[in-house]
């Protein structure tokens, strides 16, 4: 039976057992210094009808033995650390080259019981540790597996590895013949536990969080039941049921930094979705030859003609198409999406609570400094692209994109999503909802910049109660060069029309008490401009600019008329005047 297997497939979609993919032509595995494991390379799904004619193995640092070849498979045993370069010649005359790299397993690496490799004929199996202690294993037995510790299924069994001297910790046992075996992996239902520390408690049920050399904790090891210092100090993070941390309650993985650095890091590159398959990214004005491989939009293409690429991006998913100059054959999809970190949650039942695809929490302790719950950095080293509510996002650099619904083709939604963002309280409220720093927005020549942009018909809405609208503001401008604006200046509110021209202005004075009221009326009644304020009697002044005059009504010439009365007004100087009224 093979210890490690590589099942080669077209387009780099290889299946691996006991190895990891470095690139489509290189595979990596970890071994102990005394491991001598069988590696199988199965090319039956890769040769496209051809067979293996010849094989050469060039080893550096690795001892290769027990080699055998069939028409579709390579078999060999590998011991030591280094690399083996394979060169396979097929019956069709093609040459396929790949590499297997063997690396030493670190002293603090964790083992998963369903993937740990044990060399054949070097292990013995017992029900309990007590049974193993009573035996006299041969010097060739480097591993012992126990189903349990005190009982066959108590959850404290696992894999034990031979060591020459007694370890300084207590996770080991000694056989009747004097051989020492220390724990290498936990058994039972718990795939991984906090294996051991320099000063552990016996048979710990979780990790001592100060044991940071392992760096990553899985399964039960996440539980921060131990001490965060060797002397038994406080835990790394309080995970009591009522605290704000939930490490032990439901997590399956914990990665923590012992130096106050980054606890976990995730990285991807958009070019790798193509380069790992041997493709480059398509772009205009590239000189290519027939057979050149390019990727674009998550799709893979091969050039069937030579030339300098045109300006039409590749979008076809069958057959061939031209970019304006070069003809490209669609090969396949890359089946990779460059996402640095992804999380998903499925709400498939309603228990009155909810699910969270992501959760970030920062806790500022008493005496702590500035604290950020989440920082999103969008760095642009390309062209400066300006987008708006109607334009394309191509080439843009966007901090956060809120997308409503699922994939329109693969996973369409039944209904609209409720809200892109909602700000709410827990036991306290926010001092402010959204704050824009004074230097956050790029300003134009008039010292203005769009901090919030919406399309026609989008509204700002205030509600007076649930389900009841109190106030709204929106734009219905639909014609170019008919835009309007409101500007707030010192003690002034200006109404701006097309071209930036002022079409109205409202000014304030210090300690204002009186003001103008504009009152609408029902049909058949006149709207009203009325003075308001705290004074009992308030005049209403209409003041023209410069030598201008107030205009109202239409003049009609008359003959002799009878004076019937007058209307009292004041002139610009405040002097009372009387306007005659005739019949």
- Residue 12 is predicted with a pLDDT of 66
- Residue 216 is predicted with a pLDDT of 63
Question: What gap in Å lies between CA 161 and CA 118, rounded to an integer?
Answer: 10
Query: How long, in residues, is the chain?
Result: 583
The per-residue pLDDT string of the chain (583 residues; one tens digit each, 9 = 90 and over) reads: 467 888 888 766 788 888 887 777 888 888 887 889 999 999 988 888 899 999 999 998 899 999 999 999 999 999 988 889 999 999 988 888 999 988 876 433 333 333 334 444 456 777 788 888 998 888 878 888 787 777 765 656 777 888 899 988 778 899 999 999 988 755 443 333 333 333 334 444 444 444 444 456 665 555 554 444 433 444 445 444 444 444 544 566 767 665 567 777 888 888 888 887 889 999 999 999 999 999 999 999 999 999 999 999 999 999 999 999 999 999 998 888 888 888 889 898 998 888 888 888 888 888 889 999 999 999 999 999 999 999 888 889 999 999 999 888 778 899 999 999 999 999 999 999 999 999 999 998 778 899 999 999 999 999 999 989 999 999 999 998 999 999 999 999 999 999 889 999 999 999 999 999 999 999 999 999 999 999 999 999 888 899 888 888 888 887 778 889 998 888 878 888 998 888 7
DSSP state letter for 102: E
- Residue 124 is predicted with a pLDDT of 75
Tally of helices (H runs) and strands (E runs) in the chain:
3, 31
- Residue 113 is predicted with a pLDDT of 34
Token pair for 564 = 């019937």
- Residue 410 is predicted with a pLDDT of 76
Q: How far is C-alpha 368 from the geometric centre of its chain's CA atoms?
A: 27
Residue spans in the chain of domains classed CATH 2.60.40.10: 4-104
Q: Express each pLDDT in 359-417 by its tens digit.
A: 888 888 888 899 999 999 999 999 999 999 998 888 899 999 999 998 887 788 999 99
- Residue 251 is predicted with a pLDDT of 64
- Residue 100 is predicted with a pLDDT of 92
With contact defined as beta carbons under 8 Å apart, do 201 and 194 qualify?
no
- Residue 186 is predicted with a pLDDT of 53
Burial (Cβ within 10 Å: 0-12, 13-18, ≥19) of residue 8: buried
> Quick one: three-class SS letters along 379-414?
CCCCCCCCCCCCCCCCCCCCCCCCCCCCCCCCCCCC
DSSP state letter for 106: P
CA angle (159, 132, 166) in 5-degree steps: 75
3-class state of residue 275 by DSSP: helix
- Residue 447 is predicted with a pLDDT of 84
3-class state of residue 558 by DSSP: coil
DSSP letter string, 177-244:
TS-EEEEEEE-TT-S------SSPPSS-SS--TT-GGG-EEEGGGG---S-SSTT----SS---TTSS
Domain 4-104, CATH 3.40.980.10 — does that match?
Answer: no
Rg (C-alpha) for the chain, rounded Å, is 39
Question: What gap in Å lies between CA 53 and CA 93, rounded to an integer?
Answer: 9
């Amino acid at each position: 039976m093979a210890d490690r297997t590589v099942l080669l497939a077209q387009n780099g979609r290889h299946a691996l057992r006991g190895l990891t993919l470095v690139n489509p032509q290189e595979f990596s595995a970890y071994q102990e210094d005394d491991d001598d494991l069988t590696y199988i390379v199965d090319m039956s799904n890769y040769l496209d009808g051809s067979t293996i004619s010849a094989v050469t193995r060039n080893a550096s640092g690795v001892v290769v033995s027990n080699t055998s070849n069939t028409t579709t498979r390579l078999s060999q045993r590998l011991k030591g650390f280094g690399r083996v370069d394979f060169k396979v010649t097929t019956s069709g005359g093609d040459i396929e080259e790949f590499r297997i790299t063997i690396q030493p397993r670190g002293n603090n690496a964790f083992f998963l019981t369903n993937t740990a490799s044990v060399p054949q004929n070097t292990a013995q199996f017992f029900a309990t540790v007590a049974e193993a202690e009573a035996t006299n294993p041969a010097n060739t037995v480097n591993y012992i597996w126990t189903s349990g510790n005190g009982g066959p299924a108590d959850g404290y069994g696992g894999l034990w590895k031979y060591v020459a001297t007694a370890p300084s910790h207590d996770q080991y046992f000694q056989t009747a013949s004097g051989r020492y075996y220390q724990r290498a992996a936990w058994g039972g239902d718990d795939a991984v536990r906090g294996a051991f520390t320099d000063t552990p408690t016996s048979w710990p049920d979780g990790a001592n969080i100060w044991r940071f050399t392992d760096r990553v904790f899985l399964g039960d090891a996440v539980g921060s039941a131990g001490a965060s210092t060797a002397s038994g100090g406080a835990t790394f993070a309080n995970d009591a049921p009522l605290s704000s941390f939930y490490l032990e309650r439901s997590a399956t993985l914990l990665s923590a930094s012992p130096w106050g650095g980054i606890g976990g890091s995730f990285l991807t590159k958009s070019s790798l979705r193509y380069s790992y398959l041997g493709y480059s990214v398509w772009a205009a004005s590239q000189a290519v030859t027939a057979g050149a491989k390019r990727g674009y939009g998550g799709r893979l293409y091969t050039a069937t003609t030579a030339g300098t690429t045109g300006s039409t991006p590749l979008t076809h998913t069958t057959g061939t198409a031209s970019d304006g100059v070069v003809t490209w054959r669609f090969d396949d999809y890359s089946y990779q999406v460059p996402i640095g970190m992804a999380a998903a949650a499925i709400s498939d039942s309603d228990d009155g609570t909810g699910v969270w695809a992501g959760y970030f929490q920062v806790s500022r302790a008493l005496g702590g400094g500035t604290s950020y719950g989440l920082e999103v950095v969008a760095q642009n080293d390309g062209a400066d692209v300006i987008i708006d509510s109607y334009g394309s996002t191509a080439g843009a650099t966007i901090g956060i994109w809120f997308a409503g619904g699922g994939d329109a083709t693969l996973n369409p939604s039944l209904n609209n999503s409720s809200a892109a963002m909602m700000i709410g309280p827990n036991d306290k409220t926010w001092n402010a909802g959204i704050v824009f720093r004074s230097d956050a927005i790029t300003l134009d020549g008039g010292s203005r910049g769009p901090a919030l942009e919406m399309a026609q018909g989008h509204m700002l809405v205030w509600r007076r109660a649930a389900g009841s609208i109190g106030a709204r503001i929106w734009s219905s401008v639909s014609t170019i060069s008919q835009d309007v604006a409101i500007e707030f200046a010192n003690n002034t509110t200006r109404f701006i029309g097309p071209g930036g021209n002022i079409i109205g202005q409202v000014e304030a004075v210090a300690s204002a008490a009186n003001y103008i009221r504009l009152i609408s009326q029902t049909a058949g009644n006149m709207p009203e401009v009325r003075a308001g304020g705290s004074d009992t009697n308030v005049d209403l002044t209409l003041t023209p600019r410069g030598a201008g005059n107030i205009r109202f009504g239409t003049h009609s010439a008359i003959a002799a008329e009878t004076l019937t009365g007058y209307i009292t007004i004041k002139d610009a100087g405040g002097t009372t005047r009387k306007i005659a009224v005739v019949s």
